[in-house]
């Protein structure tokens, strides 16, 4: 899986622009060798790379607790300035395992809907699971439209509050937020 995730970015970043043409065949070969995976590779109207996706076998996660996390990272390279989206889930052995990875041009509703839609079509019941994420507007919008229950990471919420200069959390208030998050009653 790590090669599958790393090779597309290596191919995209490589100096030879024809190398990206190898990505569809690389993904197809990965799917041939791993029949229970789903891949997608899309080009824009000019025939240029647009987005790609690899989704692993949902059966690997069927005995797990139904917990997933999704996060995105901005790829900062002169040859590719897109986004890498990763869905991580707890498997049956309670280990965090990559469930899906995508390269997309933007972190927006369209790309998250495409990402989640493929994952759900492949057999992941995200609408019955808990998915932790940050509060990206495109992610939340796509998740709402697909009836995916999104939970926000308290660490991200506190971090966002710390970075917002109009909000000043005292140590006691921050401790209260953590305690409220851990409460077992409503």
pTM: 0.78
Q: Report d(CA 37, CA 52) in Å as an integer.
A: 13
**C-beta of residue 150 within 8 angstroms of C-beta of residue 140:** yes
Residues 57, 135: one domain? yes
Residues 168, 88: one domain? no
Residues 119, 162: one domain? no
The secondary element (H helix, E strand) that includes residue 67 is: strand 67-74
What are 117's two structure tokens?
A: 């839609």
Residues 66, 158: one domain? no
Q: Report d(CA 122, CA 38) in Å as an integer.
A: 7
Give pLDDT, residue 80.
77
Residues 13, 60: one domain? yes
Residues 118, 107: one domain? yes
Residues 50, 142: one domain? yes
Number of domains into which the chain is organized: 2
Angle (nearest 5°) at CA 18 between 45 and 77: 80
Residues 56, 122: one domain? yes
Instruction: Give me the domain span that covers residue 121.
Output: 2-152
Residue-by-residue pLDDT tens, the chain, 186 positions: 556 556 665 655 555 556 667 888 899 999 999 999 999 999 999 988 899 999 999 998 888 888 999 999 998 877 778 999 999 998 878 889 999 999 999 999 999 999 999 999 999 999 999 898 888 899 999 999 999 999 887 777 788 777 877 888 888 988 888 888 777 765
Residues 8, 93: one domain? yes
Residues 30, 101: one domain? yes
Residues 142, 172: one domain? no
Burial class (CB in 10 A: 0-12, 13-18, 19+), 33: exposed
Residues 147, 159: one domain? no
* CB-CB neighbours of 20 under 10 Å: 19
């Amino acid at each position: 899986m790590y090669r599958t995730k790393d090779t597309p970015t290596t191919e995209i970043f490589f100096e030879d622009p024809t190398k990206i043409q190898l990505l569809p065949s690389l993904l197809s070969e990965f799917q041939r060798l791993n029949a229970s995976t789903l891949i997608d590779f899309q080009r824009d109207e000019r025939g240029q790379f647009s987005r790609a996706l690899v989704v692993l076998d949902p059966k690997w996660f069927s005995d797990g607790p139904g917990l997933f996390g999704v996060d995105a990272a901005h790829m900062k390279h002169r040859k590719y300035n897109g986004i890498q989206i990763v869905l991580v889930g707890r498997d049956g052995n309670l280990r965090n395992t990559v469930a899906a990875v995508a390269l997309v041009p933007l972190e927006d509703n369209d790309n998250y809907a495409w990402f989640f839609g493929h994952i759900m079509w492949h057999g992941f019941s995200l609408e019955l699971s808990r998915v932790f994420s940050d509060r990206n507007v495109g992610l939340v919008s796509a998740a709402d439209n697909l009836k995916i229950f999104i939970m926000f990471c308290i660490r991200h919420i506190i971090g966002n509050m710390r970075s917002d200069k109009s909000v000043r959390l005292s140590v006691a208030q921050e401790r209260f937020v953590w305690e409220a998050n851990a409460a077992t009653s409503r």
